[in-house]
Structure 1
């Protein structure tokens, strides 16, 4: 059934994306799976002309703020291409990390995760669709960054945003570029 959600892939627009795991399984409970996703973000930035502006990895979804840049043919890379690359790379790396956890522990920690791990056939990692919201004002960009950085606190995973390792909060708060640096200097990013 086709989605009624309209996507606007306009040149120069920043995208606020939410991508959820298959059946909202908490794959990102495992640090090695979070590390795999960060590696996929790095590979995506190396392969696609984009600027990462913010992110948070939650147990069953990720929020991303990204600005596609001009490609070799002077058109911004479509957000669908960025997502296809990121979801493909992260899905492969994350499944590999989950297999390693399974081999070491013979469990992924919860019944739904174990059922996924022992299931036959293709086991998707991501839901096919996600949420995409275009940002074209500095205030809205800052609002979305504040929203994603507060997400682990709202969920009760940590007391303060800086305590959540897999988030861009510390980059903006103290310049910490681990586990991945963001591509924003504080002004409204522009298409280059």
Structure 2
């Protein structure tokens, strides 16, 4: 099926990508592999990784594609396939996936949103960095090790205690 997706050359996009089995912790259990695959794909198909948080069973990220490039689907296909090929086959694979030779690690689809302006960008970065608190893993975003918030704190964009107090972030983020 061909889903309608916004594809803007050089666009900045927010993504939510989920595991098929949301009860697993596969992404953090294999964090070095995931980071390596993302880096490899980024080297071969460049994009700016603006912000990211990797949760046990999903991730959120913001990418900016190069001018003239709108092909984020290929990048996601390569990341998902590269990750899946390098972990043991222990997941349940349904008949539909087996017939297509697919693994059962990732949900087939993902959520994408074209960032529209600076305010939209900031709201999505905040959502990304606050996600571990939202899900109850930590009380302060800086305490989650798999987040770009560490880069934001180190560069002085936000203080180390950002988000430790109550924070309201509204919107539809694909979770």
Taking structure 1 as the reference length, the TM-score comes to: 0.69
Stretches of structure 1 lacking an aligned partner (at least 5 in a row): 103-113, 177-192
Q: In 1, Cα distance between the equivalents of 2:111 and 2:93?
A: 29
Between Structure 1 and Structure 2, the one with more helix by share is 1
Q: Are residues 1:47 and 2:47 paired? A: no
Of 19, 22, 41, which aligns to 1:21? 19
Query: Any residues of structure 2 matched to 1:3-152 within 5 Å, and which?
Result: 6-28=4-26, 30-31=28-29, 33-70=30-67, 75-93=68-86, 95=87, 99=88, 116=91, 123-152=103-132
**1:156 maps to what in 2?**
136
Q: Taking structure 1 as reference, are residues 66 and 161 closer, same or farther at Cα in structure 2, changes over 3 Å only? A: same
Q: Count residues in correspondence.
A: 151
Structure 1 vs Structure 2 CA RMSD: 2.6
The DSSP-based 3-state class of the residue aligned with 2:133 is helix
Q: In 2, Cα distance between the equivalents of 1:166 and 1:147?
A: 14
Stretches of structure 2 lacking an aligned partner (at least 5 in a row): 157-175
Q: In 2, Cα distance between the equivalents of 1:141 and 1:57?
A: 18
Q: In 2, Cα distance between the equivalents of 1:15 and 1:156?
A: 26
